Amino acid sequence: MKILFLGPPGAGKGTQSKLIAEKFGLCHIAPGDMFRQEVKAGTELGKLVEGIMARGELVPDDITLKVIEKRLFAEEARKGFVLDGFPRNIAQARALDALLEKSGEGLDLVINLVVPEDELLERARTRRVCSVCGKPYNLRLDPPKTPGKCDVCGGDLITRKDDREETVKERLRVYNESTRPLVQYYAEKGIVVSIDGREDVGTVFSHILEEITRKGLVPEEAV
Ligand code: AP5
C-alpha cells in the first residue's frame, strides 16, 4: 500500500499518517520530521535546513529528494509506505513518479485533508511537541496529563519554531503557491480523495479507513 497525505500546515497529516502507518505496518516517511531530527542532532544537514524551516520556506528539492529516496527504498518500506509532507511541489511530484516507475508501482491513494485557515492558525497556536520523542499535543483538545510534560516519555513540551504566527502565515502562502496545485495533479491521475479534516481525530481516521477500504487496499490479514 502506497499512500500520500496532502494538506496545509496543521491539517492533521502527521497525526493521521502515523495512525495509518501503525495500523497497517507501513513505513512512515515525513521529511519534516527527518529534518527536525537533523536540526536537533546538530548535523551538517540540520544546520543547512534550520533557518529555512524557521522562515517557513521549502528546503531545496535536491536535498529533500536525497533524504526521501533513501527511505523509499529502505527494507522497512517494502510492505508499503505513507508519505507525509512529500511531495510539496510539482517538481517533487514528478521526481517521485520517476522514482516509483523504477519499482513499477505507483501511488495507490492520495488523501487531501481540508481545513479552513482560521482553524489551521488556531491549531498552530495551541500545538506543543515533545522535545524528546516529538509527540504532538493540542492544548485545547488533547492536552498532556501533566502540564508541560509528555505523557509518553516525560520530556518537556515546546513550541515548534515554525509555529509562530508570522511563520505559519508564510507556510500557508507557500502551501497555496507550491503545494495546493498537487491536488489537481493527482486528481488528473484519478487517485485523490478530499476529506474534511475539521472533525475530531477519530472521525477523520475512520473516514480515511473507509476510503482505503473502498479502494480495495486493505490487506487480507488486516480484515
Ligand atoms: P512539516 O513537518 O511537514 O510541516 P507541515 O506540512 O507544515 O505540517 P504540520 O506538521 O504543521 O501539520 P500536519 O498537517 O502534519 O498536522 P499535525 O498532525 O501535526 O514540514 C515542516 C518544514 O519542513 C516545512 O515548512 C519545510 O521547511 C520542510 N519540509 C518538509 N517537507 C518538505 C518537502 N517535501 N520539501 C521541502 N521542504 C520540506 O497536527 C497539527 C496540530 O493539530 C497538532 O497539535 C495536532 O494535535 C492537532 N490536530 C490534528 N488533527 C486534529 C483534528 N482532527 N482536530 C483538532 N486538532 C487536530
Size (the chain), residues: 223
Render pLDDT for 76-99 as a digit per residue (tens, 0 to 9): 888 899 999 999 999 999 999 999
The answer to whether the beta carbons of residues 217 and 109 sit under 8 Å apart is yes
Instruction: Please report the pLDDT score of residue 45 as a whole number.
Output: 96
Provide the residue type at 6 as one letter: L
Average pLDDT on 138-148 reads 93
Render pLDDT for 144-189 as a digit per residue (tens, 0 to 9): 999 999 999 999 999 999 999 999 999 999 999 999 999 999 999 9
Confidence of residue 222 (pLDDT cuts 50, 70, 90): low
Burial 11-42 (b: 16+ CB within 10 A, else e): bbbbbbbbbbbeebebbbbbbbebbbebbeee
Q: Which helix (H) or strand (E) holds 196?
A: strand 192-196
- Closest by alpha carbon to 186, among 114, 83, 90, 62? 90
Q: Whose CA is nearest to atom 30 of ligand 1?
A: 32
Which residues contribute to the annotated binding site for ATP?
Answer: 10-15, 127, 199
Instruction: Please report the pLDDT score of residue 144 as a whole number.
Output: 96
C-alpha cell at position 116 = 479552513
- The finding on whether 58 has its CB within 6 A of some atom of ligand 1 is yes
13 CA distance to ligand 1 centroid (A)? 6
C-alpha cell at position 45 = 544537514
The answer to whether the beta carbons of residues 109 and 193 sit under 8 Å apart is yes
C-alpha cell at position 125 = 497556536
Render pLDDT for 11-70 as a digit per residue (tens, 0 to 9): 999 999 999 999 999 999 999 999 999 999 999 999 999 999 999 999 999 999 999 998
Which residues contribute to the annotated binding site for Zn(2+)?
Answer: 130, 133, 150, 153
**Which domains are delineated in the chain?**
2-118+165-222 (3.40.50.300)
Confidence of residue 223 (pLDDT cuts 50, 70, 90): low
- The finding on whether 85 has its CB within 6 A of some atom of ligand 1 is yes
- Closest by alpha carbon to 58, among 20, 9, 10? 9
The answer to whether the beta carbons of residues 52 and 59 sit under 8 Å apart is yes
Single pTM value for the model = 0.94
* Sign of the alpha-carbon torsion through 131, 52, 122, 31: negative
Phi, psi angles (nearest 5°) of residue 127: -85, 140
14 CA distance to ligand 1 centroid (A)? 6
Render pLDDT for 105-115 as a digit per residue (tens, 0 to 9): 899 999 999 99
Confidence of residue 125 (pLDDT cuts 50, 70, 90): very high
